Structure 1
Amino acid sequence: MADEANRAAFMEIQGRMIELTAKLKQVQNQMRNKEGEKKRAFLTLEEIRPLADDANTYKSIGTSFVLEPKSVLVHEQEQKLKDSENAIASLQTSKEYIEKQIGEVESNLRELLNQDPGLARQIMSMTVM
């Protein structure tokens, strides 16, 4: 009876670990995307700022380009940079929270395996297909 309960607890912990690992990967991918957006906005700003205020600047919209004043483009890029930084900070908080949850799940798994060494042997003898 205890063996079945431990097995069920293991399956639950394993499912939670898989779920948290997937969430962590998703957050890491989102962070990479936001870092790329931030870098593009920064580099665009670096190229636009030295231009004269009356220089013709164009904004890409799909496959066409629209004439925009330099000030509008600078403002848009600064806003993208700020938004990316805020999103990265928020995602970092989420990442830390998920990592903390993963640590708790690992601790629960260790505790379960220490309570039932037979379960640990069964898990180690399983083959992955």
Structure 2
Amino acid sequence: MGLSYVSQAFMELQGRMIETTGKLKQVQNQIRGKEADKKRAFLTLEELRQLPEDTNTYKSIGMRFVLEPKSILVNEQEQKLKDSETAITSLQTSKEYLEKQLAEIENNLRELFEQDPGLAHQIMSMSVM
């Protein structure tokens, strides 16, 4: 097994690992954002449900507030809650897929090192140069 093949295989796996790790972090951030949206919608719904039906409620639109019936605001918050839950489910599926890909890449790297025990030393000496 020559240095060029081993180096090429290692560099390819390393690139895939960096890319997959980046995607995984992005998905994790999106999940956190959707969890925050879900919590906001839930808390807003809890407050709205405590109000009498004839209470004047206002919706924030940019820098303005517009008078809206309570029922419309409740419907909007319920939809935000459902949308957040759907997005979180989809993102969790993506996260699991990326985690499996990352585990596969790590396994491939481990196999590469097992095939050529001197590989780690060669890679370390290449990275120092």
| TM-score, normalization by structure 2 | 0.95
Structure 1 segments, 4+ long, off by >3 Å, are: 124-127
Q: Give runs of aligned pairs for residues 32-111 of structure 1, distance below 5 A.
A: 32-111=32-111
Q: Deviations along 1:51-95, whole A, 9 cap, x unmatched?
A: 111100000000100000000000000000000000000000000
Partner SS for 2:59: strand
Q: Which amino acid aligns with 1:42?
A: F
Partner SS for 2:54: coil
Q: Which amino acid aligns with 2:106?
A: E
CA distance in 2, matches of 1:56, 1:26: 40
CA distance in 2, matches of 1:111, 1:99: 18
| TM-score, normalization by structure 1 | 0.95
Shift of 1:106: 0.4
Shift of 1:121: 1.1
